[in-house]
Chain A
Amino acid sequence: MSGKRFYKVGRRPWELRLAPSGINERQRSRLPGTRGHWLKWRDVHNPKTLRRERVLADKMPLWWTLGLSFVAIVTPFLSNSLLSVVSIFCVYAAINVLWTLIVGTAGIFSLATLAVVGASGYVAAAANVYLGVPWPFMLLIGPMVGFVFGAVLAAPSTRLDGLYYALLTMGVAEICRVFVLQLRPLTATGGAITQVDSFIPEDWFLQRPGLLLGFAGAFLLLLGALLVWRLVNSERLGMLLRVARTGREDEAFAEAIGIDFRRARLMVFVISSAALGVVGAFYAMYFRSISPQIFSLDQMLMLFAMMVIGGLGRAEGAVVGAAIVTLIDKGLIELGPPRIILVAFIMIGVTIFAREGLTGARAQFRDFRNRKAGERRARRTEKGGEAMPEEATEVHDKQELYYRRFNKRLRERLKKLITPELIEEHRRDPLGHHSDELARVLNYFRRGEMADKYVIHRMVPAEEKFRVMAVSGQRGMPPRVIDDREYHDIKEAYHAVFLLRVNDLLES
């Protein structure tokens, strides 16, 4: 077969696979307080060796551990300015992760995230500065305020649709900003509360030890946010929402079968808001002050940019997006205003080229690669031809490959038998004594596989009125109608099926 091109197909897995033994007892421990396991190990039978292999079905925990460890280990060795950039990154990443819960899991498009952080921060700071509440209590006041604020914000979310609700929440943030700016006691500081007590001792503030302590706090804050994210998503609440959330119709369906979808969404919203309250308190402590800037639109949009760049709805997206934007915004501060333009360009680029942000790029690349492979396959496929190499690797029953090859050659021979005389012979008597040629052709047709096999439908009981259908080959799946032609003689119907099959044969 010279001139035939052969293609290399198939892929080799590069992942680590363990070789467990079934004899050994395996103790599986769980994430405390949940039903989830630490790592999602799955045993499979390797299709080539049939030996048992243990693969890590969900590799995200691995990447998280590597990524977070890297941050934790490398950061203490950075310069003071970079150290504070990383700390700020951690705070924003925490906010983003919690926002992801609201937007992604709960499916509520709220832009009041920073408003919740700000309000909690303000109240906590005010309690500390004006009422003399010691700083550790700020970490309790914050979430309480967040909880209440969240509950208030959540109320209209079930009444308003996406865009209107987003505008509403933007309005709320703006009201907060204006309110704080107009507060008489704060006019001196331009609306800011300063001199907030902190977990960082005052004389360490902006010093190396203070910065290190600040980073440690921010890092723990991020871990806490991720824990909340994980708990909400892995428990009944999040699972419920994931089951229900694929569209509005499903939401209706979910409610019909007794899932209280609305309540679950509000729960997630309120939990996230309380967690954002902690971030607010931490924010005030970390900077030892809090200003109306936190309610501003540009802060909100910066947060939005992080989400878009990282990928909406997933924790890793929130963190990666926060890292990129914070690095540019705070790390390249000497670039001046163009850095904002840079963020904008990255955002636009990501929206144009990536479907689901940078963290979705891998899946997107896979899809792209599969699509290209599919296109190549489609180009080379011939109807009724032999199995192509890439198909062959996917066919479990290898005998099927031989059938494909055999039938292709059989069809080539049968095609030569199709003549006007043969067709006429069948038309005259579809059930008669047939010539050897016609018998061969008919037998091939009749032996064809079940899927899409032609049958005749008697359209009215006891009447000679027929049409041609094709059966599904699957139990319970009804046949489909081939065309709208009707036949009033069963012989005509038999012959119509014959012509369809001859046509299929000649086309292959």
Chain B
Amino acid sequence: MRSSCCASTTCWRADITDIRLFGYADPLAAQAGKPIDFMVSAEGTKEVRAEIVRLVHGDFNPEGPGFIEEPVDTNVPQTLAVRRQYTQNGAFARVDDPADHLATDGAFTVHVFIWPSLPSGSRQAVIGRWSVNESKGYALGINPEGKLEFWVGDGETVDQVTADAPLVPKVWVLAAASFDPATGEARLRQIDVQNSWNSHIGPVVPYDHNTHVVETLRCRPAHPDAPFLIAGAHEENPERGRFVSMLFNGKIDRSGLVSRVLSADEMQEIAGGTPPADPLAYWDTTAGYDDMGIGPDIQDTGPHGLHARGVNRPIRAMTGWNWRGREDCFRLDPSQYGGVAYHDDALTDCGWDTTVTWTPPADLKSGVYALKITAGNAIDRAPVIIRPDKPRAKIAVQMSTFTYLAYANEHLSFEAQIAQAIVAHTPVISGDDLEYHKLQEFGLSTYDHHTDGAGVCYSSWKRPIINIRPGYRMAGMNFPWALPADLSLLWWLEHAGYDYDLITDHDLDREGLAVLTPYKTVLNVTHPEYYSEGMLDATEAYLRQGGRVMYLGGNGYYWVTAACPDDPACIEVRKLDAGSRAWQAEAGEGYLASSGERSGLWRSRGRPPQKLVGLGFTTEGMDRAEPFERMPDSFHKRVAWIFDGIGDEELIGDFGLALGGAAGVELDRYDLMLGTPPHTMLLASSIDHTDNYPLVSEEITYAFPGRGGSQDPQVRGDMIYFTTANNGAVFAAGSISWSQALPCHGGENNVATVMRNVLNAFIKDGALPGSGITGDEKHWR
């Protein structure tokens, strides 16, 4: 049974009813026979109707088959009890201290190196044990005026000592506060540790970063019902329960507590890099690095081992207060990489309670499914990609889950000034966009910036993600992007009668070559942009052993990406030095904490995508897409079979759901200089692009005018073919809009013809057609 209905995930929500539904699946990359948890948060209703649907086609464009989903018979209850679930935004580190070592009644000193990035505006807690609702405890933080402050509270009174001078944004200082309950004397110090490398501005600026204030406070810190926190303070209210507020923005390096008041000389020693000899706790952010990076938890090297657990992934592998520029990676000298960046809008795990768990049967057809929940006019679909229990088809489609996460909940249309110029569109936003933008609860993409302007390097699936919803169109250009777009390829495979299994980036990253080996051919989807080393290696090995890859996307194998070893839901990428980048990592911060490798473009690390699939990123534009035109190689008998049924001068793909062409959005080019295999045959190239398709920045060494589509011959998308050992081969059509041309004209068109010709050949065992033609047998028209 097939039902075709409108793709409403709903502006109804905002406009008509007050019901709001949000959900997500964990894992997003699932497998038949293994349980999938769905988390749902609902406002305005206590229960929702629920069903599992299979997503067949993801866009309502009238030139295609429309929005299609199929209900699936499952044991998921038809109605689910739901409630509002709250999301903790912001990164911080929590110290579990069951023995209460850190709630000291005697004299103590707390010291910490900080690099505040947004020191004014609202109160921020840097380190301490403070309960906002009880007004109890102590904390070292930043007051709304942007000054360092140490405050204590006994539940009745709060008293504080405040630094004289405001903190300067993005400049390292050592902050320290001592308190002696016997006298009530509080001593607050801010000590200059800026050097030529470590801060946003240099030592030529005549700021005085030091201050030293002593006051006698009127109260003593009481023990709060709160954990010791770095970069936040505890808060609790009846509606929401326990959470963390007063979030800090910036970097925090080594910090610690000492059970006495430290002298001026001892403070100077800490400022010089010597940790205190008798710490109560010492959070050494440089401890725990190895060649493969570092996890989110911070080690306490003091006597009690009170390690700090990172929540929402504080960013490690960042330069510390003593960074001196010569070492640009923690692998060269971890002691200079004590920086840990915290952001008040970081989110890598909503942490919601499971609403329902579904274990798909082992024999479930591999595909993209979703938990569809409805209440009133509100609908939400939480997609999940289900891989078969064991390989069942000859064709594998590799769903680009890394890319889905990289773009998850992007804010470009609302926040990026240059976005409209890049896409050459006025954004078309939906009611859902408005809702997500207003809420600001579900985190950012790796295309966005944190509140202090730093780029976002982590993205996870443990949160509702608007732009993997079927029917969602990327606001910037008004057509589907990534997962909803990839459904066009899946729809067509089914339409054309090909049986396929889905695998994901995450599977390939984790399991390597073994995932690919069972398949005759592996298809890439529209935008396989984010790749790990393991994925490249597996694909390479697969091709060497005779595997066949159909690379059907644009701007693929581009960013050096890693899944976090302790949490596969989360990926890490650092945008670096070259490429179309929404941000750029600060100097010395380009290596991944999750793998220890240099991030940025694969091309910059000696593995341009051309070396693997013959093509690499060359241009992007979003005003219109163009067709491919056959090139002379396509008539060679070695490959002419790919064009069976296609006229000599026929334009291929002058139609499409994405901008009306098969060559568009993001395009890849053949280039021998960049490692395209020398025997590669250039089958076809796209023509006639507008100047909104400029040559990408990594190709530009000297800038000169005329690098747009109407003047630069490198602005084009290529279709290529080459063979590898053991009857392996690569067919590549370097265009994001390629797969979205397939559903046009009822799925019967010349893009589909090329696809059928290649697929039919690739799924057969043995030698490929034309492989016997090894001479210069040309077949000129």
Contacts and interface: CB of A to CB of B under 8 A. Distances in A.
B214 A461 contact: no
Given A54-B164, A461-B7, A475-B440, A456 B427 contact: yes
Nearest to B434: A478
A22 B440 contact: no
Contacts of A475: 411, 414-415, 437, 440, 451
Contact of B159 (A26, A35, A449, A471): A35
Interface string B705-722: 000000000000000000
Interface residues of B, number: 64
Interface string A430-445: 0111100001001101
A339 to B, nearest CB: 49
Interface in A192-242: 236
A288 interface: no
Nearest to A497: B426
Interface stretch (B116-124, B205-213, B548-556): B205-213
B6 A43 contact: no
Given A26-B164, A431-B623, A443 B159 contact: no
A460 B15 CA distance: 10
**Which interface residue of B67, B214, B414, B424 has the most chain A CB atoms within 10 A?**
B414
A45 interface: yes
Given A22-B208, A461-B6, A30 B420 contact: no
B584 interface: no
Interface in B685-708: 688, 690-692
B165 A462 contact: no
Interface string B512-525: 00000000000000
A496 to B, nearest CB: 9
Interface string B1-20: 00000111111100000000
Contacts of A490: 428, 478
Contact of B213 (A23, A28, A450): A28
A52 B211 CA distance: 11
A35 to B, nearest CB: 6
Given A24-B212, A52-B208, A45 B166 contact: yes
Contacts of B425: 431, 494
B165 A45 contact: yes
A411 interface: no
B415 to A, nearest CB: 6
B215 A432 contact: no
Nearest to B161: A28
B430 interface: yes
A446 B421 contact: yes
Nearest to B218: A35
Interface in B477-499: 478
A74 to B, nearest CB: 37
A370 interface: no
Contacts of A469: 429
A439 B420 contact: no
Given A21-B208, A446-B420, A461 B431 contact: yes
B430 A45 contact: no
Contacts of A471: 413-414
B364 interface: no
A214 to B, nearest CB: 38
A471 B416 CA distance: 11
Interface string B591-626: 000000000000000000000000000000001100
A459 interface: yes
A461 B10 contact: yes
Contact of A456 (B213, B215, B418, B429): B429
Nearest to A436: B691
A434 B621 CA distance: 14
A49 interface: yes
A479 B692 CA distance: 27
B341 to A, nearest CB: 19
Contacts of A463: 6
Interface string A17-40: 000111111111110000100000
Contacts of A446: 420-421, 424
A355 interface: no
A431 B424 contact: yes
Contacts of A236: 157
B210 A23 contact: yes
A52 B214 contact: no
Given A461-B6, A461-B9, A478 B438 contact: yes
B411 A22 contact: no
Nearest to A33: B218
A476 interface: yes
Given A22-B209, A25-B214, A462 B60 contact: yes
A455 B412 CA distance: 12
A447 B60 contact: no
A22 B10 contact: no
B306 to A, nearest CB: 31
Contact of A455 (B413, B438, B440): B413
B264 to A, nearest CB: 8
Contacts of B455: none
Contact of B418 (A23, A27, A434, A447): A447
A261 to B, nearest CB: 18
B768 to A, nearest CB: 39
B65 interface: no
A369 interface: no
A22 B164 contact: yes
A498 B211 CA distance: 55
Contact of B690 (A44, A433, A461): A433
A427 interface: no
Contacts of B417: 447-450, 453
A471 to B, nearest CB: 5
**Which interface residue of A54, A460, A462, A471 has the most chain B CB atoms within 10 A?**
A462
B216 interface: yes
A422 to B, nearest CB: 16
A408 interface: no
Contacts of A457: 428-430, 434
A461 B430 CA distance: 7
Contacts of A447: 417-418, 420-421
A241 B451 CA distance: 34
Contact of A52 (B6, B67, B165, B438): B165
A459 B434 CA distance: 11
A45 B207 contact: yes
A466 interface: yes
B206 A50 contact: yes
Given A27-B214, A431-B623, A461-B431, A49 B415 contact: no
A295 interface: no
Contacts of B546: none
Interface in A285-302: none
Contacts of A458: 11, 428-431
A262 interface: no
B471 interface: yes
A457 B12 CA distance: 13
A471 B207 CA distance: 38
A336 to B, nearest CB: 55
Nearest to A478: B438
A432 B624 contact: yes
A454 interface: yes
Contacts of A478: 434, 437-438
A34 to B, nearest CB: 8
B396 to A, nearest CB: 31
Contacts of A405: none
B213 A26 contact: yes
A30 B216 contact: yes
Interface of A: 20-30, 35, 43-45, 49-52, 54, 236, 431-434, 439, 442-443, 445-450, 453-463, 466, 469, 471, 473, 475-476, 478-479, 490, 493-494, 497
9 contacts: A25-B212, A27-B214, A30-B215, A431-B424, A431-B659, A446-B421, A457-B428, A475-B414, A475-B451
6 nearest interchain CB pairs? A22-B210, A461-B8, A446-B420, A462-B60, A43-B164, A446-B421
